[in-house]
Every structure is written in C-alpha cells, then in structure tokens.
Structure 1
Amino acid sequence: MKKRWVQAEAGEKETTDLLAQQLTIDPSLAAVLVQRGIKTFDEARYFFRPSLKDLHDPYLMKDMDKAITRIDEALSSGERVLIYGDYDVDGTTAVTLAYSFFKQFTSEIEYYIPDRHKEGYGISRQGIDYAAENQFTLIIALDCGIKSVEMIDYANSLGVDFIICDHHLPGNTLPAAVAVLDPKRADCPYPFKELAGCGIGFKLAQAYCIKHGLPTVKYEKYMDLVMVSIAADIVPVVDENRILAHHGLILLNTNPCTGLKALMETTGRKKIFTLTDVVFTLAPRINAAGRMDHAREAVKMMLCEEKESADVQSLLINLQNTERKTSDQNITAEALKLIGDCEILMNKKTTVVYNEAWNKGVIGIVASRLTETYFRPTIVLTHSNGYLTGSARSVPGFDLYEALLSCSDLLVQFGGHKFAAGLSMLPEHLEIFSERFEQAVASTITEDMLRPEIAIDTQIELQQITGKFHRIISQMAPFGPENMAPVFVSHGLELMGRASIVGDNHIKLSVKQQNSPIFDCIGFGLAEYERILMPGKPFSMCYTIEENVWKDQPRIQLNIKGIHTDY
C-alpha cells in the first residue's frame, strides 16, 4: 500500500530563527523543536537535559495521601500485603518494582499475576479469593483495576482492601477502593496524564520515600524497569516519561537489575541499548512469558539477584519467546488467508476475525500485524472460558475506544485506549457485533486514516548533514510517541552507482545532492524501490539520520522511509 507523505507545518519563522541563534544549531533542527512545542531556550534546556529534579510531586496525584496512609497502617501492624499486576510488560515490571520496593520494609508481602488464559485481564475473583484465603488484607493493584467496580465491591465484602494504581481510562464509576491512583481520573490534578502503569508504581514509591525522609536512591534504582514499561506500553515519550526513559536507559546500560542484564545477554547485542532496542528485543521476551505460559516467570526473572538463577530464568523466557514467534506467525498466516479468501472481509473498513483454536496469548500481536497489512481497525478473537476474547488495534487518528464504546451493550468487558484495547463477548453476539463495529467505524473514519502515511518533519539539503547536526538529533532521544526520530525529506537526489537488494528484502544505495558528500542509505523492507531507481534520474527521499558502526568506524547513514521518483 503506497504511503502518503505528510510534511508538518512550519512554525513561526521568527521563533525558529531566534531559537536557532540561542542554541547555535541549524535552523532546520530549530524548526523541528518548534514543531514539538519547544519554543524557548528554557524549554529547550528542559528537553535536552532531562533532570530527575523535574519529576512532579507525587502528592499532586489524587488519593496519594490515602494510599500512603493505608500502606503505613499495613506495614506498622504487620498486615499481609499482596502486590497484584497485569500479565503484560507494564504489569510485570510494575509488580517487580512495587514488590521489590516494599519488601525492603516488610516480610509479609507476596505478588500475584493472574493467568491470562484462565482469569483474563484485570482484577479476578480467583485472585481476590486467593488473597482472602491467605489472610492478605491489602492488595496493591498495578496497571489494572480502574474498571473493576464489582470485583472491588466483592473484595470489600471479604475484608480485603485495595489500592489501585492504574493509567487506563476510568468508567463512569470509580471502584470503591481505599485509594484510586490514576492521572486520567477527571478529578485528578496531576499535571502529567500519560504515565505507564509501572510509572504509577514508581510515583507510589517516591511518595513513600518523601513521607519517610528516605534517600531518592531507594526508588530511583528501579528506573530501568520504568523505562522498559514506557517503551513496551507505547506511551508518549514526553514530560515525565521522557525524564524516566532517559535515566532508565542510562541505568539499563550501566547497572541494570540482574534479571534484565541476563535477558539483554540472550539477545546477543553488544551495543548500547536504545528505547527502540527495548521495544523490539527485551519487551517481546518479557511478554512471551504471559503469552505462552505464565507471566510470573517474567517477574521471577526480574527479581533474580544472583547471576546464575537470572541466567537460567532468562533462557527460559528466551525459549518462550521463540515459541511465541512460531505461534504468532502461524496464526497471522491463517488470518491473512481467511481475509484474502473472503471478498466481503476484503471490502470492509474493519477487520474482525475469529478462530476458536487461536492462542489467546498472541492474538494481540496478530491484530497488530493485520493492521499493518490492511491498515484499518482490527479485532482478532479466540475462544476462552465460554467467551470470545479478543485484542483490538487501531490506525493513527482513529479512536478505537470510542468505536468499542458504541458497541458496549454487546460486550461482556472491554478496556484500553484509542489505539489498542481488549474485549470479550458472548459467542452469539459475534455476527451482530461485527456489523455494529463496521458501522461505527465506517461512519466516522476518513479515507486518509485508511491509508498509511509518512510524517515528515522538514525538508533539508544533504549538505546540512554534519557531525554536529547528527549529534543534536541524538540528544533528542529517547524517541517514541510524540517525540519520534525526526524524518527529513530531500529532493533532487542522485543515485551513485546502483541500488542493491540485501538480506531479507532490504535496499542499499548511496546518494548525493549537487555538491554534498555521498551518504550511504539503507531501507529495511523496501526492496520494491530498487526497480524504479536509475543512475542519472533524480528522486526524492524521506529518511531518518543515524549512525552505523562498521569495523569500529562510525559513519552517518540515512535510514530510508520512502522514495518518490521525480520523473
């Protein structure tokens, strides 16, 4: 599917020029900063020098004082505390953080991760029963619980208190927990709304340390876990998330927890890890535990203090990831065939597919792959515990959550946000749900949303790309949602020699522009462009700028995102 090129609107020239002058940087880089809301020297300093001193006061979060008071009561009286969390990366890192932190102050503490296949998402009755039967009187729930109104009522009836630390959108009614920590609460004044679930756990630990006058290292040592959750949960890498991701990456690359260090070694990578490396190498492995077996295996790995046990546990996780790859590849192939063989499905603006035999643990990945292929809101369903359970994925610009909300009368449960969600329904509702979901999407989605785009920051000339230019871009990292690596476009480029296809469908070439230096370029999965590029024929290219190290020699390389021929 051919992608649209969409170039961002330029900011006010006077603002851009002044910022470029104050920072002594190329005006094109200043333009990129202005487009991202960085318009003054002080805003640039905040952006380029992420400081832990700029973390927000955790007590600005609604109910934080109530949460710390209840935890103090539990710890001082020797109550049993259960740390409860979701089975994905955000949930397992959050459980690891909260359990490790509070274990410093009590031995009466355990953790609980629900079984994805038997209990499903969120607070489960089985988990509450486990707590009550084992005399746990306080549950701290992380990355889940904001919609578990009935389950919290059930826990209250058994004398089990809850503190909820969640970051998902609340429903119309908040659970009757002792404290509900969620910046997305309508009445929460916390200034940053996009923390991951593990980030909420981090703020809880920070608040505890502030109250008790404990050194910041008591909670800052867990920033590698918070960074992994930020990367995996695809939350905006701005404001507090940017600070935590920046310092978490430093910790990951210098002194990570023993479990993460062992997992890093299983990837075979020797270089410095970036947020992108975490997304594509560490996060899938951590997730694989809950997808293929039980997520507590991931928590056990991240809690390991001895290298030997961490090595054993990380190898188990790595094996589960290998099994996960095979499973999701097979299911994706089946789903693609199902769609390709059905003209009705091919012509819809949504994809809803179901197979009772599909592994519940990988259907989220499959939904993402189908969305990449057909670029439309997608739901993949399987059968679990008498219900159809599924994962939904959206396309940029379309609010998936609102579409599901319009069909909520047909759903037993659903939750998530505008880009991704989970849901379950009775089997007999599948057909009418598919029709209603298609109607909801078709009536609100635009044709532009159904066509992938390449978001371009600004146009530059190749001769602008210098070592300093690249160093400034590198300082804009870590990259992620709302702070993606800048994409540039250049026109009238000349192919040097011939383009070649390398590896698995990749293209490699060298270019120049008038009197510019020659730059090596790589386009992953873009071998299709090889047939349209000809020596002597000018073309346009959009790309990111990165460093490629070959035989210990670093060189600037252009990572191709798209090519248009100018003839």
Structure 2
Amino acid sequence: MIDICAGDEIRVRYPEEDASTLALTLGCSRIFASVLQMRGLGCSEKARAKHRPGLRLALEELFLGNEDPGGEGLRAALREGVRVVVYGDYDVDGVAATSLAVELCLSYGAEVRYYIPHRRLQGYGIHEEMIGRILQMGCDLLLVVDCGTRDRKILEGVVAAGVPVWVFDHHLPEGSTVRDVGAVLINPHASNGDEEGVRLCATGVLWAWLFRNALAPEEWLRERLDLVALATVADCVSLGPLNRALVFEGLERIRQGRRVGLRLLAERLGLVFQRIGEEDLAMKLIPCLNAAGRLDLADVSVRVLLGEKDTLQWVERLVELNRKRQYLSGRLVDEISTAISAEERHVLRGNEWPVGILSSVASRLCSQFRRPIALAAPAGEVLRGTLRVPGGVDAVAILRNVEEHLLEWGGHRQAAGFSVAPERWNVVEERLEYSLSEVKIQKDLLEVLAFPPQEIDMASWREVETLGPFGMGNPRPLLYAENKGVSSIRPLGGNGRHVTVEVGGVPLLGFNAAKLLAGCPNPRGWVYAPRIDHWRGQARLQFVLERIVHSGGVEHA
C-alpha cells in the first residue's frame, strides 16, 4: 500500500562507478549489476551462489537440531491400517502442514483423521478436552504440527496411554517441552538448529525432515513443495537461502496446477496460475486460505488443499469468507486507528471485536503507527489477545513479563498470542501498556537504489527477478527517482483516487495516491518498484509508486 515517508526514513544508494564494467563482464544489464552491488553480490560468484543454492545442497547442509531421532521410528509407526490423528493449527502454515501430514499418512495406507481447533472458541495449541475425545475414538499415532512444543502436561497423558506422539513445530520453547514427557519433538528452536533451520516455518520443518530422512520418495515430496511455498510466504519467515529455494521450487509446482483446489482458487481470484508469483500468494491466495480459520473453521482450507469432494464449493466459501474478512478488518482498523491517535495507546480491548481478525488488524496498525500493538476481545469465558511488534522488538520477551497473569501464551519474536481471564485483564493491560510504551523502536532506514525508470526494460527487470523469490529477509528491490520539479501528475481512472506520475517520460502508477499527493504538494522524490503485469495474454512492464518522499534530508550511502 502506498505511503508517505520523510527523507530521513530512506537511504539512497547510487550505482557504483564500475556498475557498467560489471555489467559488461557478466553480460547483464546495468540495473541488474547495480542491484547485485547494492546487495554485496556483484564481485563474488561464491556470494551469488550462496544467495541462491540448489535445493538439494541447501538441504544437505541443513541442521535441524541435536535431538533429531531419525526417521525409523515414524516409518515403523506408519503402516497400513494404523489409526492416525493429525492435530494442526488454523493459519496457513498450520493447514498446509496438516495437509502434508495427512497426505503422508495416506501414502502409507493409514487411516487418517485431522483436527484443527476453533480460533475464537478454543484458541491456539493442544486442548485437553479434544485430546480426550481423540483417545476415546481410538488413536494409534498422534502427529502434531505447528503447535505442541510447550503442551507438556496435556501430551504427557497421551504418551502415558501408550500412543506415540510426534510434534513438528517452529514456535519458541519456554522452559520444559513435550520432549521431557516422551514425545518426539522436531523443532530447530528447541534443539539448537542452525540458522537455516530456525528460519523454517512448521510446514518447512516437517517437509525438510521427511526429505532428509527419506520418509517418502523424492518426487512425491517435491510435488508437495506447493504447500511449503504457501506456508513460508504466509508466515513471513526470513527468506534465507533454503527458504528461497523452497519457495522458488514450490512456485514452480503451483504453476503446474496439479493441486486442484489451489488451481480452482487461483482461477476464481482471476489469477493465471501458470504465472503465479510470491506476491500473488501473499496478496491473493493466502488471505483467502487464512480467512477460514479467522471467521469459520480452518477445515475449509484443508478441504481445498486436499482436493476433497465438492472442492469448488469450498473454494467459493473461502472467497466469501475473505470478502467478509476484508470488510470487518477495514472497519476495525479505522475504529482502532482513531483511538490510537487520540490517546497514544498501545493496548486496546473491544468487547464486540471478532477475535479471528485481531492478528491481521494488529499487524496493519503496527506497520501504520510504527509501534507495538496489543489487541484483545472476549472469546467464550476468556479474553484472547494478539501482540504485534516492529522489527528489533521481541514479542515473546514482552509477554514473558506478564506470564504469571496469563492462561496461555506463545509465538515468535514479532508476533505472539495470549489468553487471559477477564478478572486479570486490568493488571495485564496496565503492565503491557507500560512495557510497550517503554519500547525503544529501532529506526530502520528503507534502502532504495537511485535509478531512472527509462533505463529499465522487460528483459533487464526479468534479470533482477532471478534474485527472488522476494519477501522477509530478501526484500524486493525498491528504486528512487528524485523530483526535479518537472514530474507531471495526471488522473488515472474515473474515480479520482489514482494518479500517474511521469518521471523522465515514464509513468509511475500511483494507486490510491491522489489524496496523499494533495497533502504533499512538492515531494522530494518517488520510491517505485517495477512489476511485470499480464493483460490479455501479453506481458508488460509497469512502474508502481510505493512511497512519496516529503521534506527532510535524504541519507545517501
């Protein structure tokens, strides 16, 4: 979404003097050579190879932790007719990991059921009541994905009942884990995994462990990289070399259209699945898949991913739920923004707020106000909350300070969830508000490359896109053009919200920029990003305005 930023919020880098020489040496465009230099990859083939290794090499070097038991135990437990229950989570990582685990068990001839808790009524993690029902219905093997690391007390009873428990997770451990009661835990965070291991989402942990232990044929596993790509982009994990390789190959599998439900969803959203990229996942497919767990049951998304009976019906349900989510989220963001602006608050509670959308709303507000935000609302007999913090702040450490007042909590450095009894809310609110108001926000400058749009064509930008997939930890390159007082601004479309800004004879598309420009009549410059768009079967290069840079000195690097 387009935004206004001050000049001191960006760092402008200029192409190095030898960029043209490097371009000639490598046989590439000047923009590609400049981006390589900006990222420290231009002068070393070894550095470029490390940036984009082959998937097999990245997996061979992966270390998931010093408690990895190997695959023989699970292989022995997965046999024809064995009754398996997969217990997952309600976000995209959870439903993707659930789908992968279900398909694995089916490939062994097991009888498989899956269970995902209701976000509003039950919340995150393992629930004792459901575990009791699972055991009562009969279970020979319990596979837990994207949760379970800290559910020691509940899973102890499952192990004591003689049911093997395998947990594949990536959430941060706090104190003792389920490993202490005899469950098998594959979690790089709990086992001193290496840098690439701790970057994996839960689906990535499960997939990589299956691959390294040969629990399924290699081609079978590669066909399911579509699930890994979805989960990796959805969880906004850092795209180090391994995650980039997983997403790159996963996108290739998505484009083949073999997963019927995903293909139908893409087509329903107007996407050409053969050309789907990481932004299509983040902006189109993932919000729909997430909507089920936010406003209904996450089982809807699992049914789509598994291609169960009446898949098209479930696809339509996802689209409907996502429209509802967009409406509710937009209304809630407007409501809470007013309170935050008027009262300078960080912690807010709403008795009528839908719990399922609080995490996405908190993320938007955290980004918009550049401050930590905690939101909470009633869910049955408890209050469920979500905490989102800017980069450099540790959400888990903040919640640890109020742990004695919470019923349950957990998460990642930048995103965490919690539940609290209503009678303890005032204490939690006061202490969280104090902690969050004391947080020192690190000012992260936006790195941009000064480069004129008229020097970029389709071929040269395709070269730049080979450095993707882009996302957290590997951001899409942003470019900068100074406003020299000759930029022409014209309306775009008939609703008065969009404009084009002409720079050097090239139009930058400013979606929803008209109102922002009205309040910033003389910008210092423009931050923009090239995009390859497809219209009626034809590819075209567009330049999309990302930031309007107003007063304040621009830092040059």
Pick the TM interval, shorter chain: 0.7 to 0.9
What CA distance in whole angstroms lies between the structure 1 residues aligned with 2:533 and 2:139? 53
- Alpha carbons of structure 1 residues 305 and 442: separation in structure 2 relative to 1, 3 Å: closer
Q: Quick check: 1:52–1:243 contact (8 Å CA) kept in 2?
A: yes
The CA distance in 2 between the partners of 1:202 and 1:371, in whole Å, is 32
Tell me the equivalent position of 1:120.
123
Taking a change above 3 Å as real, the CA distance of residues 505 and 406 of structure 1, as seen in their structure-2 partners, is farther
Match for 2:296: what amino acid? Answer: D
Deviates more, 1:493-502 or 1:266-275: 493-502
Amino acid at match of 1:327: L
Q: Structure 1 residue 111: deviation in Å?
A: 1.5
1:125-146 deviation digits (Å, cap 9, x = unpaired) = 1232122112213211111111
How far, CA to CA, are the matches of 1:168 and 1:22 in structure 2?
A: 45
Q: Is residue 44 from structure 1 mapped to residue 48 from structure 2 by the alignment?
A: yes
Name the CA shift for 1:11/1:64 in 2 (closer, same or farther; >3 Å): farther
Measured after TM superposition, the shift of residue 123 of structure 1 is 1.3
Deviation at 1:320, TM superposition (A): 2.2
Aligned with 1:347 (options 344, 349, 355)? 344
**2:307 maps to what in 1?**
304
Pairing partner for 1:403 from 374, 398, 402:
398
SS in 1 for 2:480: strand
Structure 2 stretches of 5 or more lacking a match? 553-557
Q: State the shift of 1:472 in Å.
A: 1.6
Amino acid at match of 1:44: R
Whether 1:563 aligns to 2:548 is: yes
- 2:355 pairs with 1:332: no
Structure of greater relative contact order (alpha carbons < 8 Å, 6+ residues apart) = 2
Match for residue 269 of structure 1? 271
Q: 1:220 matched to which residue of 2?
A: 222
Q: What is the CA deviation profile of residues 263-307 of structure 1, one whole-angstrom value per residue up to 9, with x for unaligned ones?
A: 11221223622111111211111112122221112111211166x
Contact 1:376 1:394 (C-alpha < 8 Å) held by counterparts: yes
Match of 1:393 in 2: 388
Q: Describe how 1:67-466 pairs up with structure 2 within 5 A.
A: 68-76=71-79, 79-176=82-179, 177-189=182-194, 191-208=196-213, 210=214, 215-270=217-272, 272-304=275-307, 309-339=310-340, 343=342, 346-348=343-345, 350=346, 352-446=347-441, 449=443, 455-466=446-457
Decide whether the 8 Å contact of 1:202 with 1:226 is kept in 2. yes
User: What SS does the aligned partner of 2:355 have?
Assistant: coil
1:527 paired residue number:
514
1:430 is paired with a residue whose SS is helix
Helix, strand or coil: the match of 2:199? coil
Task: Call closer, same or farther: CA 1:145–1:12 in 2, change over 3 Å.
Answer: farther
Contact 1:401 1:418 in 2 (8 A): yes
What TM-score do you get using the length of structure 2 for normalisation? 0.88
Residue matched to 2:27:
24
Matched, 1:469 2:457: no
CA distance in 1, matches of 2:269, 2:536: 20
Select between 466-475 and 414-423 the one with higher mean Cα deviation: 466-475
**Partner-residue secondary structure (3-state), 1:390:** strand
Query: Cα offset for 1:499?
Result: 2.5
Q: CA deviation at 1:497?
A: 4.3
Gaps of 5+ in 1: none
Number of positions where the alignment pairs a residue of Structure 1 with one of Structure 2: 545
After superposition, the CA RMSD in angstroms is: 3.1
Aligned equivalents of 2:420 and 2:189: distance in 1? 26
Please give the alpha-carbon distance, in whole angstroms, between the structure 1 residues aligned to 2:173 and 2:416.
Answer: 14
- Give, in whole Å, the separation in 1 of the partners of 2:4 and 2:268: 37
Change (3 A) 1:12 1:275: closer
CA distance in 2, matches of 1:100, 1:58: 26
Q: Check conservation: 2:6, 2:549, Cα contact below 8 A.
A: no
Distance in 2, Cα, partners of 1:10 & 1:511: 22
Q: Distance in 1 between matches of 2:335 and 2:520?
A: 35
TM-score (norm: length of structure 1): 0.87
**What is the deviation of 1:175?**
1.5
User: Which of 489, 496, 507 pairs up with 2:480?
Assistant: 489
Q: CA deviation at 1:85?
A: 0.7
